[in-house]
Each structure stands twice: as C-alpha cells, then as structure tokens.
C-alpha cells in the first residue's frame, strides 16, 4: 500500500519547481486537497523559499557600484 | 587618398562597434545588483564577493565580443563569475566539501522540528522562529557544490538549464544537488533551533 504522505513529501520539491508531469501533479493535488498535514508543509516550504531569499539578500555597496561604472570604456 | 585613410564604411563600422560596446556595458551594469546578490552567497565574505564581482566585470568588458547578443547576459556573467571563483581555489570556504551528508533529513523535517517548538502551528508564525542570521549561517554551511546550485536557482532565480550551463554540469546533477542542498539547508536550520549534542 502506498503511503501518500511519504510520496507527497518526495514530490514536494519538484512540485513547487513545476518539474512534475501533469499526471504526478494531479496525484499530488488530490492528496493535498484532503491531507491537511501535507498541505500545511507545502505552504510552509513555499513561504520558506521566499523567506530565505529575502533573508540572504544583501545590497551591493555604492562604492562597488561606482567601481563597476568606472570600468566602462570611456566615450570619445 | 592614401590607403591608411579610413573610408566612410570603416568609420561606420567603428561607430557601430562602439555603440554595440556601450550597449553591452550598460546592459551588463544594469544586472550588477543581481550578479552581486548571487556572488555574495557563493563566497564567505562581502570583500570576496566584491572582488569577485569586480573581476567578473573586468573580464566581461574585455571579452564582450564573445557574448552573443540576444542570449542570457545574466547567465553569461555568472558563468564568468563561477569560473573565477573556482580559479581562486574557493579560498576561505566555510564548509568543507567532505561535510557529512549522512544526517540528511526529509523535506518535512524542518517544519516538524519548528512545529514541535511552539503551540502556534500557522506556517507564517512557525517561520518567524528562524532568525535572519541563522538563515545566512545555515546557507553558508551547505557544502559548496550543493550551495552553488542552491544559490543560482533559489536566490538567483536561474532555471535548471541555466544553472547547468553556468556550472558546466549535467541538468540531472543540478536537480539532484538542488534537492539535496535544500534538504541540507533545512537540516542546518533545524539544528540552529534545536542544537544537536
């Protein structure tokens, strides 16, 4: 017998990456509709990815920006 | 008219080339924030990231003719950057490549760990149990082969195919390293909340 929660956990990353086949997506969605436990974890993963992206984003310093601009070929 | 005098056609060609070069440099500079954001997480310190980005632009501006207009310039710049990073011997890498991976946990492990830490199980509230510093550290501690892919796809928003091209590895390797890298990152985050003995 298939443990659908286990299967759903395996499919989570490719599901959120849009890398599953239409058939697999349908299977995952069917399980997620009825499984609160898994759907909560899918939503968490989506939020986590967004949160990580923001947390590790560090803006470039104006000094570096100026250095890069100075590398341009001078206009004659 | 002597032979060394440029003809009108020569002048036009030179002017066109000068314009193409200026256009290339402007387009590349517009991408610098995105290039830096990726660079900053591929290396350990801000100084290294700044050096790497500067070297990348120096090289890109020197070899601008090798870029094919209309192709993905951001990926082209990142290809230069990752090659330079490898050439530098990945100095001061925080995480050794031999890091133990046998402790890899499943994809639900982090949520399960955080959920067990408090009463509120709302996803957003659970997420807030992670600090920004813990996320930065957890990512830095992912072994670099996995981190490179993770940073390109999840931070840099590159496709699997672009990441494969940038790192010169097969797309299947990108996918497996990405999936594994994300699990390692989540395990590191879970460890930051519940220190292991």
Sign of CA dihedral B56, B57, B63, B69: positive
Tokens (6 digits) for B90 = 């990945």
Is residue A64 assigned to a domain? yes
Residues of B with CB under 8 A from a CB of A: 18, 21-22, 25, 29, 32-33, 36-37, 40-41, 46, 50, 53-54, 57-58, 61, 106-108, 110-111, 121, 123-124, 126-127, 130, 132, 135-136, 139, 154-155, 160, 175, 178-179, 182, 185-186
Question: What pLDDT is attached to residue B123?
Answer: 80
> Do residues B24 and B64 make contact, with C-beta atoms less than 8 angstroms apart?
yes
Region B85-95 average pLDDT: 66
| Contact at CB, B50 and A44, closer than 8 angstroms | no
| Interface with A, mutate which of B22, B39, B108 (most A CBs under 10 A) | B108
Q: Helices B8-30 and B32-42, interaxial angle, to 10°?
A: 50
| Tens-place pLDDT, residues B130-149 | 999 999 999 999 999 999 99
Q: If you classify domain B8-87 with CATH, what class do you get?
A: mainly alpha
Question: What pLDDT is attached to residue B175?
Answer: 94
Say whether pLDDT at B95 is over 60.
Answer: no
Region A58-70 average pLDDT: 96
| Tens-place pLDDT, residues B11-42 | 899 989 899 999 999 999 999 999 999 999 99
Q: How far apart are CA B54 and CA A71, in angstroms?
A: 9
Closest CA to B51 of A74, A6, A24, A68: A68
Say whether pLDDT at B98 is over 90.
Answer: no
> Do residues B73 and B154 make contact, with C-beta atoms less than 8 angstroms apart?
no
Provide the number of structural domains found in chain A. Answer: 1
Q: Which domain holds residue A52?
A: 4-70
Q: How far apart are CA B161 and CA A4, in angstroms?
A: 30
* DSSP code at position B193: H
Cα dihedral A73, A74, A76, B4, rounded to 10, equals -40
Mean pLDDT rounded to a whole number for chain A: 92
Is residue A75 assigned to a domain? no
Is residue A76 assigned to a domain? no
List the single range of A56-60, B86-90, B171-175 with lowest mean pLDDT. Answer: B86-90
Of B25, B46, B108, the CB nearest to A72: B25
Cα nearest neighbour of A39 on chain B: B123
Q: How far apart are CA B116 and CA B12, in angstroms?
A: 70
ipTM of the complex: 0.89
| Contact at CB, A44 and B123, closer than 8 angstroms | yes
Backbone phi, psi, residue A37, to 5°: -60, -50
Instruction: Delimit the domains of chain B by residue range.
Output: 8-87, 109-193
Say whether pLDDT at B93 is over 90.
Answer: no
Is residue A50 assigned to a domain? yes
Q: What secondary structure, in 3-state letters, does A55-73 show?
A: HCCCCCCHHHHHHHHHCCC
What percent of chain B is predicted at pLDDT more than 90? 66
Q: Which fold has domain B109-193?
A: Arc Repressor Mutant, subunit A (1.10.10)
Is residue A18 assigned to a domain? yes
């Amino acid at each position: 017998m298939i443990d659908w929660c286990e299967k759903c956990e395996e499919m989570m990353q490719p599901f959120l990456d849009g890398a599953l086949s239409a058939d697999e997506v349908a299977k995952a969605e069917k399980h997620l509709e009825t499984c609160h436990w898994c759907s909560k974890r899918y939503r968490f993963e989506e939020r986590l990815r967004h949160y990580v992206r923001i947390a590790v984003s560090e803006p470039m310093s104006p000094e570096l920006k100026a250095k890069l601009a100075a590398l341009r070929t001078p206009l004659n | 008219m002597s032979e060394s005098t440029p003809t009108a056609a020569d002048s036009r060609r030179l002017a066109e080339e000068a314009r193409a070069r200026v256009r290339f440099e402007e387009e590349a500079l517009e991408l610098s924030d995105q290039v830096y954001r990726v660079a900053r997480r591929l290396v350990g310190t801000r100084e290294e990231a700044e050096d790497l980005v500067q070297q990348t632009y120096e090289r890109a501006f020197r070899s601008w003719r090798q870029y094919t207009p209309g192709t993905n310039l951001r990926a082209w710049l990142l290809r230069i950057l990752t090659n330079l990073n490898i050439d530098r011997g990945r100095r001061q890498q925080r995480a050794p490549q031999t890091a133990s991976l046998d402790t890899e946990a499943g994809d639900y492990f982090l949520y399960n760990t955080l959920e067990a830490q408090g009463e509120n199980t709302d996803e957003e509230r659970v997420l807030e149990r992670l600090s920004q510093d813990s996320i930065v550290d957890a990512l830095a501690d992912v072994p670099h082969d996995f981190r490179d892919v993770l940073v390109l796809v999840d931070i840099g928003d590159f496709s699997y195919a672009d990441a494969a091209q940038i790192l010169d590895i097969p797309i299947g390797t990108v996918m497996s390293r990405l999936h594994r890298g994300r699990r390692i990152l989540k395990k590191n985050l879970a460890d930051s909340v519940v220190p292991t003995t």
